Amino acid sequence: MSASMAQDGLEHGGRLGAARRAFAGAPEPFIDLSTGINPRPWPVPPLDPDSWGRLPEPEAELALRVAAAAAYGAATPDMVAAAPGTQLLIQLLPRIFPQAGLAVLGPTYAEHAACWRAAGTAVAEVERFAALFDAPAALLCHPNNPDGRRVGLRALHALADAMAARGGLLVVDEAFADLEPELVSAATLLPHPALVVLRSFGKTYGLAGLRLGFALASAAGAAAIRGWLGPWAVAGPALAIGTAALADAPWRAGEAARLAAEAARLDALLEAAGLRVLGGTRLFRLAEGDAAGWHQRLGRAGILTRPFAQQPRWLRFGLPPDEAAWARLAAVLR
């Protein structure tokens, strides 16, 4: 079993425990390049002890939604629902907004299709954006994971209009959009009645363990999602950290510039090793070549990458966290 394989059969990054078993004897510390998480987290300040010892106050939850609306481009905090991680939202959406059929633009993050199928939805995975217009409902990741594919805002608007005309739904997962300043968020189309936009907090801010994510929708749609989540859905520490981090626009701008340079550095290393870079985002790069061979060689050197069973020549690389990790990666690629 691949070190990136989940117990449910779906492939994911991470899982260092499985990696250590698969590559027994590999040097430590293991370098995890299998995820698209910022390797340098936002600097978390000291927290008020009350954030741990008391149930979250409604005012704190509202403050988080205000910060999220401003950061993500939603017109009002009424269009925001905050959850303990985007994964929970991915699992809830098919139950909150049930659809008879859904087309997913792929290949992409496998949890989307799996969760809609589990809810009884007929899911078709398509490779062309135009094919989404023929479906009762549609879903795409923007930019896409793992190849970074993007679609223009006008095309997204047209697709949302087509879904609305038939009473359907368009879900746009913008998990990797925060650090792509040239990308205009689909949230700017809200309050479109057929549109739900997902945003991930942990990837951008390097705080995936905090478990925080957002759905942006019309006021009625966001209220329905908050109703399903119930009270105190987001922990007090996550409310405090999320509110402060989302308001830190200078940090985001600095990270976007820094990570663009790091992504270019990684591209150069991969191409020098004979791999072809297919695309990606500032947080990960997708390469094509002898993926199985490189995954094994890197794994034996204590460096975990992300292979794809359905695309056996693809290998995804996250960004090394420091110069020591860069040196180890370069040594193996040479």
Q: Read off the CATH number of the domain in which 55 is found.
A: 3.40.640.10
Does one domain contain both 240 and 254? no
146 — pLDDT class (breaks 50, 70, 90): very high
Structural tokens at position 88: 């929970």
The pLDDT value given to residue 10: 57
Q: What is the CATH number of the domain that holds 262?
A: 3.90.1150.10
Does one domain contain both 78 and 180? yes
Res 29 pLDDT > 50: yes
Structural tokens at position 197: 């936009």
Residue 301: inside a domain, yes or no?
yes
Residue 9: inside a domain, yes or no?
no
Residue 7: inside a domain, yes or no?
no
Torsion angle defined by CA atoms of residues 108, 259, 190 and 68, in that order, rounded to the nearest 10 degrees? 110
2 — pLDDT class (breaks 50, 70, 90): very low
Does one domain contain both 256 and 224? no
Does one domain contain both 31 and 102? no
Residue 23: inside a domain, yes or no?
yes
- The whole-model pTM stands at 0.94
Residues 86, 242: Cα–Cα separation, whole Å: 14
The pLDDT value given to residue 1: 38
Residues 140, 170: Cα–Cα separation, whole Å: 8
Report, as an integer, the average pLDDT of 35-44: 97
CA–centroid distance for 106 within its chain: 15
Query: The domain containing residue 127 runs over which residues?
Result: 50-247
Residues 295, 228: Cα–Cα separation, whole Å: 41
Does one domain contain both 85 and 221? yes
Does one domain contain both 163 and 269? no
Residue 3: inside a domain, yes or no?
no
Model pLDDT for residues 201-212, shown as the tens digit of each residue: 999 999 999 999
Does one domain contain both 28 and 84? no
Structural tokens at position 73: 């481009």
Does one domain contain both 83 and 148? yes
The pLDDT value given to residue 4: 47
Of 15-24, 100-109, 213-222, where does mean pLDDT reach its minimum?
A: 15-24
Report, as an integer, the average pLDDT of 8-20: 72
Does one domain contain both 122 and 192? yes
Residue 132: inside a domain, yes or no?
yes
- Among the residues of the chain, which ranges form H helices? 16-22, 50-53, 58-72, 86-96, 110-118, 153-165, 202-205, 219-229, 236-246, 249-272, 291-300, 323-333
Res 55 pLDDT > 70: yes
The pLDDT value given to residue 17: 87
Residue 227: inside a domain, yes or no?
yes
How confident is the prediction for the chain on average, in pLDDT?
95
**Phi, psi (deg, nearest 5) at residue 238:** -65, -35
Residues 254, 2: Cα–Cα separation, whole Å: 35
Domain boundary, last residue among 198, 215, 247:
247
Domain boundary, last residue among 247, 276, 309:
247
Q: How many domains does the chain have?
A: 2
Residues 197, 81: Cα–Cα separation, whole Å: 10
Res 20 pLDDT > 80: yes
Domain boundary, last residue among 247, 272, 293:
247
Which is it for strands 122-126 and 138-141: parallel, antiparallel or unpaired? unpaired
DSSP summary character for residue 35: S
Model pLDDT for residues 238-297, shown as the tens digit of each residue: 999 999 999 999 999 999 999 999 999 999 999 999 999 999 999 999 999 999 999 999
The pLDDT value given to residue 327: 98
In DSSP terms, which residues pair with 197 in a beta bridge? Answer: 172, 216
